[in-house]
Amino acid sequence: MVRYPKLIGRYDTVSHKRDSGNGDNPQRFSLIKTSRARQDMEGLSTTTYKVTEDVETQLFTRIKVFINMTQILQVRFLVVTVNVYVATLSLTLSWMLLDCIRYGPSQEDEAHSGGNTRCPMG
């Protein structure tokens, strides 16, 4: 969010009661937890929506859209799952390489590979 100096512009919110038709999102904590993993790839250009109403006035244009939240949450779950898998795989490969650097190729590697081991140090 960009906030201009008070001399240029300011904003305020209208106090209101909670909308009874807009209940708690059961996945809100999961979404907050995974927001950092999604922030570089999610946005207005990647959101699928359908324009349901378009009203132009002299001061503004109001555009109402329908967003399929089930589809969005499924995509978010998939993206987070893939990111976690890649991070886990990367960490596993790092540990394998560290073991290889520390201890060299295992006897099992050498016996099965005919001298061509998975260890780059061997």
Q: What is the DSSP letter of 43?
A: S
Which domain covers residue 109, as residue numbers? 43-113
The answer to whether the CB of 76 falls within 8 A of the CB of 34 is yes
Run means of pLDDT, 10 residues per run, the chain, 122 residues: 72 79 80 79 77 89 84 62 55 57 56 52 45
The answer to whether the CB of 121 falls within 8 A of the CB of 104 is yes
pLDDT at 122: 45
Is residue 104, in this structure, part of any structural domain at all? Answer: yes
Give the ranges where 1-122 is alpha helix by DSSP (H).
Answer: 28-33, 35-38, 69-103, 107-113
pLDDT at 78: 59
Token match 């001298």: residue? 115
Backbone angles phi, psi at 104, to 5 degrees: 75, 180
Is residue 94, in this structure, part of any structural domain at all? Answer: yes
pLDDT at 42: 75
pLDDT at 60: 87
Is residue 81, in this structure, part of any structural domain at all? Answer: yes
Is residue 88, in this structure, part of any structural domain at all? Answer: yes
Give the three-class secondary structure for 21. coil
Is residue 28, in this structure, part of any structural domain at all? Answer: no
pLDDT at 27: 79
Is residue 67, in this structure, part of any structural domain at all? Answer: yes
pLDDT at 40: 78
How many distinct structural domains can be found in the chain? Answer: 1
Is residue 10, in this structure, part of any structural domain at all? Answer: no
Side-chain-side CA neighbours of 86 within 13 Å: the count stands at 7
